[in-house]
Amino acid sequence: MMERIAVFPGSFDPFTVGHESIVLRGLDLFDRIIVAIGQNTTKHNRFSVEQRIRMVQEIFANEPRVEVAAFEGLTVDFCRSINATFILRGLRTSADFEFERAIGQMNKMMNDNIETVFLLTSTSHTPINSSIVREIIQNSGDVTPFIPKSLDIQKYLKE
């Protein structure tokens, strides 16, 4: 049988407990999940792509079905290049929905073989987003409640 491979695309700057939860829940649906770090040159990043790759590797060190990769260009093209037929996304709010609907529908028009699958965020993770986490870091606040337990973010902040 064909392996069910999902790409979970995003900036993950940094990877939060919300992202972790979507991946862990996705493992019930897919054989393999590729966390795909988009190289968005227009966004201001706090962590380098290389650091974000290492962070995801550290978080899922004990989960061989989760891999991480960086990609440039269209998500559908990246999916095709690794034989992934699903895109996994999290939905927090109605604003997320409007944004995701357009991207998901246009991706479907570009490649009809790829299905986008949305998981509703767990209630406790709904407010968590990476840009606020970056702001807290900027202002020397404690972000550990928002970061996966298995990740030592202090290490990356000192690099």
Is 94 tagged catalytic? no
Lookup: tokens for 70? 């960086």
Is 92 tagged catalytic? yes
CA proximity to 15, closest of 42, 54, 64: 54
Is 81 tagged catalytic? no
CB closer to ligand ADP out of 40 and 81: 40
Q: Which amino acid, one-letter code, is at 143? A: V
Min dist. Cβ of residue 131 to ligand ADP (A): 8
CB closer to ligand ADP out of 82 and 132: 132
Q: What are phi and psi of 37, to 5 degrees?
A: -90, 110
Lookup: tokens for 10? 């995003």
CB closer to ligand ADP out of 16 and 107: 16
Answer yes or no: are the C-beta atoms of 70 and 41 closer than 8 Å: no
129 binds ligand ADP, rule: CB under 6 A: yes
116 binds ligand ADP, rule: CB under 6 A: no
SS3 17: helix
Q: What residue ranges bind ligand ADP (CB under 6 A)?
A: 10-12, 16, 18-19, 22, 89-90, 92, 96, 121, 125, 128-130
